Amino acid sequence: MNKGRSIFSKYFVICSAVILISFICLGAVLLLVSSRYFIDDKKALLKKNCDGAAHEIQQVMLDDPSEWKDKASEIMKEYAMGCNAHFILCDKNGRILEKTYGSDHVGAQVSEDMLESINENDYYVYDNFGGLSDETSHVCGVKFSANGPDYYILSSAATSEDNDYVYNLLEVFGISAVIVLIIALFIVYFTTMKLTEPVKEIAALSKKIGKGDFEVTFPEYDIAEFKQLSNAFNEMAASLKSYDTMRNSFVANVSHELRTPMTSIGGFVDGLLDGTIPEAKRNEYLRIISSEVHRLTRLVRSMLNLAKIEAGELEPKMEKFSVIEIIVETLMTFENRIEEKQIEIRGLDAPRVWLYADEGLVHQVVYNLIENAIKFVDKGGYIEFGFNPIGDRTVISIKNSGEGLSEEEMPLVFDRFYKTDKSRGLDATGVGLGLNIVSSIIRLHGGRIMVKSVKGEYTEFIFTLESAEP
């Protein structure tokens, strides 16, 4: 199994390669520049000494026309020692008269091409004097006149010195480069190790989260990218913890909501079968069983609707309709309960309010909110409807008088299976999913829903939906 290379090894190899390539490039440039500088310096030194020797020999020729050769030879030797070069003195025909090394080649001939080049400009070339020298040299030449005839003086320095110079330069650079490279690699090694420590730490903490430990807290890092990553993981851990809590709560609530009616149904059925329940009360208990079955049906249907909405499987069928007609139709469904509690209905004298939404889903919203309002309105109280168009939206409100909600209860009313203590006392048939479904449907339409309440006075649900032209 290929586990792949670690960030540490990749980063270390990349940094090392960059440093090594940089040293090679730097060395090549340094060698090129230094060699060029060395050659230019050599050329300038040979030209300077060549001019100086020519001037002094010219002066000796003028001062002592008959005995100048010995003195000229001494002058050339002095200059040769001063610049570590060889000097050759020849006449206008190129015949060598004096030289600073050995006695052979005196009287030999310097090539005419070399002399012609000296006549044309400042002369500098790599040459071996037409075979007079054993190796190629830096050659510089100067022409001068004394007592009539023309003479040439040439200075030469073996190119083997270039090789020595390059070798010494490479040796110094190589030793320095190795030392610096070792130091740089140590720095890169420890820097890389330090840089990858947060990655290892985050990986270890992530494994704990993967095992279900959502109490993990990632530390704060100095490096901005790791700090962002740490904050993201902390947020993820908090979200997972919240989802885990919600999941556990959901399972517990579903189990409770299913167990209660099923226990009742089971107990009553057993009582009917074993004769514990008398014949006279059979129909009464059958009605209770039917009620519990309907309660289970509502619970399952509500859970399926929520699952479809959250999975994105429920696509709203958008159409134009009047919401007031839906409200009136729903109120007629609860006519008996409205009359029983002597509830006053307000706000339905408004003109038709047109919406562009899924009529069936909006009907479920209206039904759940009206049912909730009727459940908690005080006897002789009111239920008031409001319609307020704002831009391309219509704000719809359903308000009921009554005991209202406390500040602690209001943030929780849209949670799944949440029931206020009063709700549990007033309605045993509810499953605590109505308002959660309402909230989900409104969000599915891109709207918003909120609740306002004053304890002991009223509760009002306000939601927005897209308006439609009449």
Q: List the CATH number of the domain containing 252.
A: 1.10.287.130
**Model pLDDT for residues 279-301, shown as the tens digit of each residue:** 888 888 888 788 778 767 766 77
Confidence of residue 426 (pLDDT cuts 50, 70, 90): very low
Domain boundaries, position 279: 224-308
8 A C-beta contact, residue 85 and residue 155: yes
Is 319 in the same domain as 301? no
Is 302 in the same domain as 324? no
Domain presence at residue 152? yes
Nearest to 69, CA basis, from 43, 93, 41, 91: 91
Is 141 in the same domain as 19? yes
Domain presence at residue 389? yes
Q: What is the pLDDT of residue 269?
A: 85
Domain boundary among 270, 290, 308: 308
Q: List the CATH number of the domain containing 136.
A: 3.30.450.20
Domain presence at residue 210? no
Domain presence at residue 85? yes
Is 27 in the same domain as 108? yes
Q: What secondary structure, in 3-state letters, does the chain show?
A: CCCCCCHHHHHHHHHHHHHHHHHHHHHHHHHHHHHHHHHHHHHHHHHHHHHHHHHHHHHHHHHCCCCHHHHHHHHHHHHHHHHCCEEEEEECCCEEEEECCCCCCCCCECCHHHHHHHHHCCEEEEECHHHCCCCCEEEEEEEEECCCCEEEEEEEEECHHHHHHHHHHHHHHHHHHHHHHHHHHHHHHHHHHHHHHHHHHHHHHHHHHHCCCCCCCCCCCCCHHHHHHHHHHHHHHHHHHHHHHHHHHHHHHHHHHHHHHHHHHHHHHHHHHHCCCCHHHHHHHHHHHHHHHHHHHHHHHHHHHHHHHHCCCCCCCEEEEEHHHHHHHHHHHCHHHHHHHCCEEECCCCCCCEEEEEHHHHHHHHHHHHHHHHHHECCCCEEEEEEEEECCEEEEEEEEEECCCCCCCHHHCCCCCCCCHHHHHHCCCCCCCHHHHHHHHHHHCCCCEEEEEECCCEEEEEEEEEECCC
**Model pLDDT for residues 85-95, shown as the tens digit of each residue:** 888 888 888 88
Domain boundary among 277, 308, 339: 308
Is 453 in the same domain as 351? yes
Return the bridge partners of 158, or none: 137
Mean pLDDT (the chain, rounded): 79
Instruction: Please give the Cα distance from 382 to 342 (Å, whole number).
Output: 9
User: Cα angle at 288 between 284 and 293, to 5 degrees?
Assistant: 145
Residue 76 CB burial class (10 angstroms; 0-12, 13-18, ≥19): buried
Instruction: Please give the Cα distance from 53 to 84 (Å, whole number).
Output: 14
Domain boundary among 116, 148, 164: 164
Percent of the chain, pLDDT > 90?
A: 14
**Model pLDDT for residues 125-152, shown as the tens digit of each residue:** 666 665 556 666 778 888 888 888 888 8
Is 240 in the same domain as 119? no
Domain presence at residue 394? yes
pLDDT at 167 over 60: yes
Confidence of residue 431 (pLDDT cuts 50, 70, 90): very low
Confidence of residue 418 (pLDDT cuts 50, 70, 90): low
Q: What is the mean pLDDT of residues 325-330?
A: 89
Instruction: Please give the Cα distance from 419 to 414 (Å, whole number).
Output: 10
Is 19 in the same domain as 102? yes
Nearest to 173, CA basis, from 39, 24, 17: 24
Phi, psi of 430 (to 5 degrees): -70, 155
8 A C-beta contact, residue 371 and residue 341: no
Is 296 in the same domain as 246? yes
Q: How many domains does the chain have?
A: 3
Is 293 in the same domain as 338? no
Instruction: Please give the Cα distance from 82 to 155 (Å, whole number).
Output: 12
pLDDT at 387 over 90: yes
Is 349 in the same domain as 252? no
The residues near 266 (Cβ < 8 Å, ≥ 6 apart) are: none
Distances, alpha carbon 117 to alpha carbons 105, 203, 285, in Å:
21, 76, 131
Domain presence at residue 207? no
Pull the structure tokens for residue 12: 């270390």
8 A C-beta contact, residue 374 and residue 434: no
Confidence of residue 160 (pLDDT cuts 50, 70, 90): low
Choose between 258 and 462: higher pLDDT. 462
> Torsion angle, CA of 415/418/421/426, rounded to 10 degrees?
110
Distances, alpha carbon 32 to alpha carbons 18, 26, 37, 173, 330, in Å:
21, 10, 9, 13, 94
Q: List the CATH number of the domain containing 377.
A: 3.30.565.10
Is 320 in the same domain as 457? yes
Is 125 in the same domain as 50? yes
Domain presence at residue 398? yes
Instruction: Please give the Cα distance from 130 to 127 (Å, whole number).
Output: 7
Domain presence at residue 213? no
Choose between 416 and 438: higher pLDDT. 438
**Model pLDDT for residues 364-386, shown as the tens digit of each residue:** 888 889 988 998 899 999 999 99
